[in-house]
Amino acid sequence: MKAKISTVLRTNESRMWDELQKVSSLMHVASPILKFTPQEHCSLPKQWALGIAYKLKLSFFGVIPLGNHAIELVEINEEERRIVTNEHGRLARVWNHTIRIEALDDQTIYYSDEIEIKAGLLTAPTWLFAHLFYRHRQRRWKKLLER
């Protein structure tokens, strides 16, 4: 099942692309709903890199453990302004995420999150959660970019 959530953000394409590369940006836009922490013996870099499976612990509001979650960046396409991750965890065996940005003008971009979800019997409720969560993330992007 796929979910697609999009918005218009007031920023330029270059700045948004730079923010998307930062691990700290994911942590900011996901909070406080989801918190990602590295598993033991793992660390997170300042910027995402291709081909590395980042092993994380996932929690709901930093309190309720949701199990392990892995994020692997499989594409960072600067020319097409697209980032693709293959993700999986205890609750969703597939959570593949594609981010696309497109300049509408010098200070406005179209931003979209597309998520492929496979979670067995939990696929439909997980799809609903994805819609709510990514709307939250996009609101957090707006606040982050206002700074």
Model-level pTM?
0.94
pLDDT in tens, 54-79: 999 999 999 999 999 999 999 999 99
Q: How far apart are CA 31 and CA 63, in angstroms?
A: 12
pLDDT in tens, 38-56: 998 888 999 999 999 999 9
More confident residue, 146 or 127: 127
Q: How far apart are CA 85 and CA 53, in angstroms?
A: 10
Q: How far apart are CA 25 and CA 53, in angstroms?
A: 18
pLDDT in tens, 111-139: 999 999 999 999 999 999 999 999 999 99
Instruction: Return mean pLDDT, the chain.
Output: 96
Q: What are the structure tokens assigned to 4, written together?
A: 């697609």
Q: Locate the DSSP E strands across the chain.
A: 2-9, 34-38, 53-60, 64-77, 82-89, 94-105, 108-118
